[in-house]
Structure 1
């Protein structure tokens, strides 16, 4: 599948924990990346400063659906599920004493 130019869902919906130029602490979920231009195109595409995590994300019909809105909805659901899994995993680690002390 080819990326739908101007979609931008992958630059808005997910959280990104690695630094991004202009966002040194990463990007929270649902927040527009500062490197996304007004046409929802990445300003860093093809540049060496583009984060590896961004380049590694590939469009997929199951994730992106048939429309930009479907892509946003699916990625937000996955982000929420991932967040909940991380929270429950951290709580389990703390309750069992495996909190990495």
Structure 2
């Protein structure tokens, strides 16, 4: 709750064991989205398919989609609501991003 009050967002990744590993904490969603793009490049994203699962946060999902397409014009970006187990782990307002390398 304190992190939400201070507008601190976390960018993380899935570990080999399937757990969420925090990578960095940033102040505000805009910085978090920039960090996601930066990390995608570091993880050798090559401009192919991206899936953004959003948990009641379609606005930021659309912003991220626009930024991905601006940087990788041939990217196929799909936005969808979280389902099943992802909904259990996702917090309201969060995004989960997966991409093909």
> TM-score, normalised to structure 1's length?
0.25
Q: Which structure: greater strand fraction?
A: 2
> TM-score, normalised to structure 2's length?
0.25
> Which entry has the higher C-alpha Rg, 1 or 2?
1
